[in-house]
Amino acid sequence: MLEQPAAAVLLRRRRLVDATALTPPVRRSAWQWLRRPLTIQAGLSALQAELIQRGLLLSVGLYRYCASLSAPALAGFGGALLDLLDAESGFDTEHTPLFRGFPESVPGNTETFYVNRVFARLLQEPEQPCVLCGDTSSVHAVAPCAHLVCRTCWDGSDFSACPLCLQRITASDPFLRPSAVEEEAEVHVRSDRLRLLSLATADSVRQTIGALLSRRTPLSAMDRADLRILLDGASSAWLPEDIPVRETRALVIAHFLAAEPAMVDRAGTATDVLRLCYALMDADPGLRTPPARRKSLPRATRRLLLERLDRMPVETLVEDLFRHERAWKRIGENLHPFEFATRYPVAALAFAILRRTDVDLGTAAGRAVAGEASRHPLVRVEDGRLVLSTFGSRVEGAFTDERPGQALDLLRQRPGELVRRLVQLARALPPELHAALVEALTTAVSDVSPAVLAAALGQVRTPPGDLRLFFPRGGTTRIWTAVDDREPLPAALAAGLSAVLTGEMLRRATGLPRWRRAFLDEELARLAAPGSERSVSASLLRMPRGSAVPIPQDELLRLFLHWVEPADRRVDLDLSVAVFDEEWGFVGLCDYTRLRFDEDALVHSGDLTSAPGPGGSTEFVDVDLRAVRRVGGRYLLPVVFSYNDVPFEELERGFVGMMRQPSGLFDPAAVEERFDLAGPAKILLPFGVDLHTKELRWYDVNLSAAGYGHDIARYAGQLGLMAATLEEVHGSGDRVSLWEICCWHAAARTDEIAVRCADGSVVGYRRTAGEEPAAFARRVTARLEPDRAWDEDAAAGADFVAVLTGDLAARPGAEVYALHPRLLDDASVALIDAPHLLALLAPDNRAHLRSGESGRSLRGF
């Protein structure tokens, strides 16, 4: 396969095919003897058939490109394209479950199967009759585990591993025989699953970089990796003046710093410099985990970083250092600030305060630090060491001393911090200061990121519940719950704060280019507003945590888990499903201890306890939603356990996902979602299914794990509590949804909005004379009585379309958000993502538009 990392990124993120990168060079003499028209047509037909099997079609532009190639070039192009697609979905490996006849051949009685395995493993002796059937000639050892296996009792045409220890055995072992069910199943791809592949343009990489850099929320690990790949072929001239997310900015600065040292000036704070240091050391610029190994920085780079710190005000510099005290103490060992104290005395002073260093006036460094300290009245000496009272400590002191009014006065100086602490202030302030809080917020919101405003709005509107949910910082998303004993906010205050936050979003949207009509899908209310993606798993669908998608009532789901263990360590992963009732009471499970739940309601493909490379191992679970409801189940929780306590990050490769109505054992066209297994976690809860609301909600969280033997029997209580809390928090409807963001845009930018309802009907809303955007937005967001009925053609005349599934005809050039774009062509419409809709509401967005940046230049996935 050709080396094309940037092409793989474009294909996965935007379904754009970089034809230049994927087409191999071919000499004319290699194909001129072929009958070109016939061969090309046959090749195109074969490529189309392979793509349809994967749920994809060639766009008109891409088809014409393929038709222009020579036969050898088309063969090389098609092979490279299919390789990338198969690696993305997991179709590039052979998925062989323990029972090759799954689901039909899975034993109905797991206990009998287990007892037979134990007897055979413990009691079977070499050259002795089988302890189960008494056959004297059918017991032989299998490789490499050397367990004695009876060929009569254990069917070698059905098992793919040793039936006693369930570890993979050598493919050439005589025990393994051809399976009667290994013929390829006939593939039937539903037309509603097909998605279009479009031809990338010369500007596609630049557009994708621009979309990532314009985001107003932190990138996920996968997004950061993609950005690094795309920047390898980029120019610094492509960079916008402002990169709003500081973690993203650190990656960009680190990439270009060696060639352009002046890029360091983009690091505006000490924390920005710390993020840059982490990026230079190939660590996480989100500062959640320290560098695995502190890389030594070149002397010129150290001077450059210290010089940048030296130009910052002392108070804010010290405050930033204390905000990440442990990280800065570690990085200080690399920067050696006192080595350059006479050249950069401000930086040396800040580190002296951070480290509580005794100042030695007998040294040049000590004299430089003492001289600099004398210039700053906020710096004082206590017990021979330098101390500075920071802004953060003064705010915390005001809250601790029950002086919230003073805390409000301080926070007025920092609008972003005021909005982040809005709920804390609202609960702490006495009623007579509520009006002052609303007034302070009204002044502050104009300079605050839309992501922070949306998060604050959700917090203000969400009343206390039974439990609180906490997402601590760390390498994986672990959460915990606690009893929620907070008092609700006064209704009048909550309404006033919400009005200010919503009004600011509408005000910003009003300044954007106008639309003739907007077409919205009310199903977007299931999707959460874009937020921080720092800790989300790499996945096919990029939905915020807590989002939900509808599932058909009688559909068959097939869950899959695939992993490849490192060469020097056995890794035993388990795919399991827990079933809970209406009140989150435990109903049952399907895992290695129970391969069938209620006959065919849940069927497990069998437990594999090792996954040697290169093929690895795969486990499946078939879920019959109707049958699960029949036995009183409402909630289904699929879970991945590392049974022998090996972190996911040690795997050579690992992923878990879901297929809907698959055709064949592993159907790439039916793969609805796929999560990569990564990080130090050992237990992953990727999503949950609610059979009552017919929703599948994305969780993507981990449980803390310690010890050995992780399985559902041990964690069922924690799973139920965690999922119940997630459902309470995300299912309440108080958090800001993508539907609400789209309504803000539409109400502020057009007078005509068409809405597709859940039952498929289309209704219309028109702004009345003199109706303010806030009133119009409330009417549409709440889906009050519409002004008229409409037909599906309403989307054809819309400049903006936001839908769950792109199963409609959009006007050429329209801006379109679609979670599932289907046959929408990126060359015809401007496909945008959810973070882009939020980024447009940035406080400085109109300045960007005046400078010539169009919405299309920032689009992409």
CATH code of 707's domain:
2.60.60.30
Highest mean pLDDT, choosing among 234-238, 387-391, 700-704: 234-238
**Distance between CA atoms of 262 and 256, rounded to whole angstroms?**
9
Pairs from 240-246 (Cβ < 8 Å, separation ≥ 24): 240/210, 240/213, 240/214, 240/848, 240/853, 242/844, 243/213, 244/214, 244/215, 244/216, 244/449, 244/839, 244/842, 245/215, 245/216, 245/217, 245/218, 245/219, 246/271, 246/272, 246/275, 246/285
- Pair (496, 413) in one structural domain: yes
Examine residue 235 and state whether it is found in any structural domain, yes or no.
yes
The CA angle 701-469-441, to the nearest 5 degrees, is 120
Structure tokens at 180: 């009667």
Across the range 433-438, mean pLDDT stands at 95
Contacts of 814 (CB under 8 A, 6+ apart): 798, 799, 800, 801, 829, 830
Examine residue 162 and state whether it is found in any structural domain, yes or no.
no
Q: Would you say residue 182 has pLDDT above 90?
A: no
Tell me the H-state helices in 421-571.
Answer: 422-428, 434-444, 450-461, 491-510
For residue 700, what are the domain limits?
Answer: 548-724
Closest by Cα among 647, 645, 650 to 710: 645
According to the model, what pLDDT value does residue 430 have? 93
Domain finish residue from 73, 89, 105: 89
Q: Would you say residue 380 has pLDDT above 70?
A: yes
Contacts of 172 (CB under 8 A, 6+ apart): none
Examine residue 184 and state whether it is found in any structural domain, yes or no.
no
Helix (H) or strand (E) holding 587: strand 586-590
Contact 253, 276 (CB under 8 A): yes
Contact 774, 555 (CB under 8 A): no
Examine residue 168 and state whether it is found in any structural domain, yes or no.
no
Q: Would you say residue 184 has pLDDT above 60?
A: no
Q: Would you say residue 489 has pLDDT above 70?
A: yes
Q: Would you say residue 858 has pLDDT above 80?
A: no
According to the model, what pLDDT value does residue 28 have? 44
Across the range 835-841, mean pLDDT stands at 91
Across the range 396-418, mean pLDDT stands at 91
- Pair (310, 408) in one structural domain: no
Structure tokens at 225: 């990796």
Highest mean pLDDT, choosing among 160-164, 362-366, 659-663: 160-164
According to the model, what pLDDT value does residue 100 have? 92
Crossing angle of the two packed helices 5-14 and 204-213, in degrees rounded to 10: 70
According to the model, what pLDDT value does residue 472 have? 63
- Pair (504, 516) in one structural domain: no
pLDDT cut 70: percent of the chain above it: 91
According to the model, what pLDDT value does residue 286 have? 87
Examine residue 85 and state whether it is found in any structural domain, yes or no.
yes
Q: Would you say residue 624 has pLDDT above 90?
A: yes
According to the model, what pLDDT value does residue 288 have? 81
Under the banding of pLDDT at 50, 70 and 90, the label for residue 856 is: very low
According to the model, what pLDDT value does residue 365 have? 82
Structure tokens at 157: 């045409």
- Pair (495, 578) in one structural domain: no
- Pair (384, 433) in one structural domain: no
- Pair (457, 577) in one structural domain: no
According to the model, what pLDDT value does residue 754 have? 94
* 97-111, 476-490, 738-752: least confident range: 476-490
For 184, counting Cβ atoms within 10 Å of its Cβ (0-12 exposed, 13-18 middle, 19+ buried), the class is exposed
For 690, counting Cβ atoms within 10 Å of its Cβ (0-12 exposed, 13-18 middle, 19+ buried), the class is middle
- Pair (613, 661) in one structural domain: yes
Examine residue 824 and state whether it is found in any structural domain, yes or no.
yes
Contact 832, 815 (CB under 8 A): yes
Contact 67, 681 (CB under 8 A): no
Average pLDDT, the chain: 86
Examine residue 49 and state whether it is found in any structural domain, yes or no.
yes
Contacts of 513 (CB under 8 A, 6+ apart): 749, 849, 855
Q: 7 or 71: whose pLDDT is higher?
A: 7
**Distance between CA atoms of 242 and 254, rounded to whole angstroms?**
16
According to the model, what pLDDT value does residue 474 have? 54
User: C-alpha dihedral over 470, 474, 475, 480, to 10 degrees?
Assistant: -30
Overall domain count for the chain: 6
pLDDT cut 90: percent of the chain above it: 50
SS3 call for 86: helix
The full length of the chain comes to 861
Crossing angle of the two packed helices 404-411 and 391-400, in degrees rounded to 10: 160
* 336-340, 480-484, 672-676: least confident range: 480-484
Q: Would you say residue 849 has pLDDT above 50?
A: no
According to the model, what pLDDT value does residue 445 have? 94
What is the pTM (predicted TM-score) of this model? 0.86
- Pair (689, 561) in one structural domain: yes
The maximal CA–CA distance of the chain, rounded, in angstroms, is 94
Under the banding of pLDDT at 50, 70 and 90, the label for residue 2 is: very low
- Pair (619, 692) in one structural domain: yes
Chain segment 795-825, per-residue pLDDT in tens: 888 999 999 988 888 889 999 999 888 888 8
**Distance between CA atoms of 523 and 551, rounded to whole angstroms?**
12
Contacts of 860 (CB under 8 A, 6+ apart): 13, 14, 207, 208, 210, 211, 212, 831, 832, 833, 836
- Whole-number Cα distances in Å, 684 to 374, 474, 575, 658: 54, 15, 10, 14
According to the model, what pLDDT value does residue 533 have? 66
According to the model, what pLDDT value does residue 261 have? 93
Under the banding of pLDDT at 50, 70 and 90, the label for residue 538 is: low
Under the banding of pLDDT at 50, 70 and 90, the label for residue 855 is: very low
**Distance between CA atoms of 721 and 700, rounded to whole angstroms?**
15
Contact 700, 637 (CB under 8 A): no
Domain finish residue from 89, 115, 135: 89
- Pair (564, 684) in one structural domain: yes
Domain finish residue from 34, 63, 89: 89
Q: Would you say residue 567 has pLDDT above 50?
A: yes
Report DSSP state, residue 688. Answer: E
Crossing angle of the two packed helices 314-323 and 345-355, in degrees rounded to 10: 40
Tell me the H-state helices in 54-172.
Answer: 60-67, 71-89, 110-123
Provide the 10 A C-beta neighbour count for residue 851.
9
Examine residue 307 and state whether it is found in any structural domain, yes or no.
yes
- Whole-number Cα distances in Å, 341 to 299, 365, 385: 15, 5, 17
According to the model, what pLDDT value does residue 37 have? 46
Under the banding of pLDDT at 50, 70 and 90, the label for residue 535 is: low
- Pair (505, 628) in one structural domain: no
- Pair (417, 381) in one structural domain: no
Contact 44, 66 (CB under 8 A): yes
User: Strand 548-550 relative to strand 695-702: parallel, antiparallel, unpaired?
Assistant: antiparallel
According to the model, what pLDDT value does residue 569 have? 92
Under the banding of pLDDT at 50, 70 and 90, the label for residue 487 is: confident
Chain segment 189-232, per-residue pLDDT in tens: 666 678 899 999 989 999 999 999 988 888 888 889 899 999 99
Contacts of 633 (CB under 8 A, 6+ apart): 579, 580, 581, 587, 588, 601, 691
Contacts of 202 (CB under 8 A, 6+ apart): none
**What residue type is assigned to position 32 of the chain?**
Q
Across the range 500-514, mean pLDDT stands at 95
Across the range 314-337, mean pLDDT stands at 89
According to the model, what pLDDT value does residue 681 have? 84
**Distance between CA atoms of 233 and 829, rounded to whole angstroms?**
26
